[in-house]
Amino acid sequence: MKTGTLILVRHHESEWNKLGIWTGLTDIGLTEYGFEQSEEMGKLIANIHIDQAFVSEQKRSSQTLEHMILGMKQNAFPIDRSGAINERDYGDYTGKNKWEVQKEIGEEAFENIRRGWNEPVPHGETLKMVYERAVPFYLSTIVPMLMTGKNVLVVSHGNTIRALSKYIENISDEGIKKVEMLIGCILLYQVDKEGRVIPDKKELRCLEIEGTSKKY
């Protein structure tokens, strides 16, 4: 039996993304631009029948999915929320302006905090900690669905998708520093029974519009 397609989506622009503020677990909604572009993202996968969707507990992921559905123009499918795919908890950095912090601590330390594998933040999570909650959920809940041929859509957050991609693509601890999930892009995978990507079965679909490559 043909395995299903795994589709990973980062929520579109939130109010705090726009302001350059570390959001973490704070429940901030999308901007109007984010709503509009979420619908456009839905059109990128309109040719794929979705059997199941998962979203995080933050409303920006649910709002992204709701507007993607408008673009996909598909019939209803089950949607489940899970804290396992919540955004990284940025602890004491939550609510701070990223670019002001960058000036304060320097480029190297800033990039280590944002992209490093096991870089601690006070009272928050490392990417490794996100991996340790997201990957078990993926293996126990999502992979079995994919193995039965179901197409599964996951709408989550940049760090969570990086953590999942690290496992799926077997990316090294050092290599994950170079990986970023851009807003406006969608990852599609065909995976084996271990949940690892099948060679040459990864696809990236992105909106070809101004702002697609904006870094938040």
11 is annotated as an active-site residue: yes
Task: In whole angstroms, give the CA distance from residue 86 to residue 88.
Answer: 7
Task: In whole angstroms, give the CA distance from residue 204 to residue 124.
Answer: 30
Do residues 27 and 212 make contact, with C-beta atoms less than 8 angstroms apart? no
Task: In whole angstroms, give the CA distance from residue 102 to residue 112.
Answer: 11
Catalytic residue among 12, 13, 67, 87: 87
Strand partners of residue 197 = 191
How many C-beta atoms surround the C-beta of residue 150 within 10 A? Answer: 18
Strand partners of residue 54 = 80, 154
40 is annotated as an active-site residue: no
Catalytic residue among 11, 12, 67, 157: 11
Task: In whole angstroms, give the CA distance from residue 162 to residue 85.
Answer: 11
Do residues 35 and 135 make contact, with C-beta atoms less than 8 angstroms apart? no
Long-range contacts of residues 25-31, Cβ cutoff 8 Å, at least 24 apart: 25/58, 25/86, 25/87, 25/89, 25/90, 25/94, 26/94, 26/95, 27/58, 27/59, 27/60, 28/58, 28/59, 28/60, 29/59, 29/60, 29/63, 30/60, 30/63, 30/64, 30/67
Catalytic residue annotation: 11, 87
